[in-house]
């Protein structure tokens, strides 16, 4: 049985934005079951937890003797293992990996730096906040051009779309993509997938009623 770690009592503002959601979503898309390993928020930095997830975050993933961390690596493992959510052919797989890494290294960090500057470090310098916003806005504009009117990042729905959709949910929540209707449409199209709805629903149960 596959197991994924989730936070038992995360702060309410994280609802819908925790990375375990990506792994739930993939399981639902693939028709795989999994169980949750519920971890108290305070225990994420414990020595025992850090042995499984060196950065004290969720999710880590277990299947038999194998323990993995990083949502990108877990998604890739599931896709290859089950031959789902990734094309069959070598070139299609490699291109899907380009987009998987792009979502995690060329988009998410830029969304995150704005969150850090404006909300977490609480910069009081309007110019710094503007530069930070302009940087992520530019990146999202490049993504918008590359996606164009395609339904998915590659020919078919893949693990790259799972990550990019969750990253765009973050960006949307901070009003970063309102200038890019195709990104909004892409995000909303993927959010309507029954597998996403089930995953989000199960994730939301962690937060009580």
Q: Which residues bind its own copies (CB under 8 A)?
A: 50, 54-57, 65-66, 68-73, 76-77, 81, 90-91, 94-95, 97-98, 100-102, 104-106, 108-109, 112-113, 116-117, 120-125, 127-128, 131-132, 135, 139, 142-143, 145-146
Cβ proximity to its own copies, 16 vs 92, nearer residue: 92
**Least Å from the CB of residue 116 to its own copies:** 6
- Strands 60-63 and 66-69, sheet pairing: antiparallel
Cβ proximity to its own copies, 26 vs 202, nearer residue: 26
Cβ proximity to its own copies, 17 vs 121, nearer residue: 121
For residues 73, 76, 80, 86, the Cα torsion angle rounded to the nearest 10 degrees is -170
Which H/E stretch holds residue 33? none
The dihedrals phi and psi of 71, each to the nearest 5 degrees, come to -60, -35
154: which DSSP letter?
S
- Strands 34-39 and 2-7, sheet pairing: parallel
**Least Å from the CB of residue 97 to its own copies:** 4
């Amino acid at each position: 049985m596959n197991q994924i770690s989730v936070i038992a009592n995360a702060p309410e503002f994280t609802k819908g934005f925790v990375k375990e959601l990506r792994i739930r979503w993939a399981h639902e898309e693939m028709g795989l079951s999994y169980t949750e390993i519920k971890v108290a928020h305070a225990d994420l930095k414990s020595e025992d937890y850090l042995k499984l997830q060196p950065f004290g975050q969720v999710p880590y993933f277990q299947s038999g003797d194998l323990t993995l961390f990083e949502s990108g690596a877990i998604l890739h493992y599931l896709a290859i293992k089950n031959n789902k959510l990734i094309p069959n052919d070598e070139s299609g797989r490699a291109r899907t990996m380009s987009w998987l890494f792009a979502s995690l290294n060329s988009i998410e960090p830029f969304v995150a730096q704005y969150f850090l500057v404006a909300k977490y470090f609480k910069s009081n310098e309007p110019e710094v906040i503007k530069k930070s916003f302009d940087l992520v806005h530019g990146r999202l504009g490049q993504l918008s051009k590359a996606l164009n009117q395609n339904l998915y990042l590659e020919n078919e729905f893949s693990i790259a779309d799972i990550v990019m959709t969750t990253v765009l949910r973050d960006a949307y929540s901070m009003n970063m993509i309102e200038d890019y209707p195709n990104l909004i449409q892409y995000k909303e199209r993927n959010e309507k997938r029954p597998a996403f709805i089930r995953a989000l629903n199960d994730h939301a149960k962690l937060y009580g009623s």
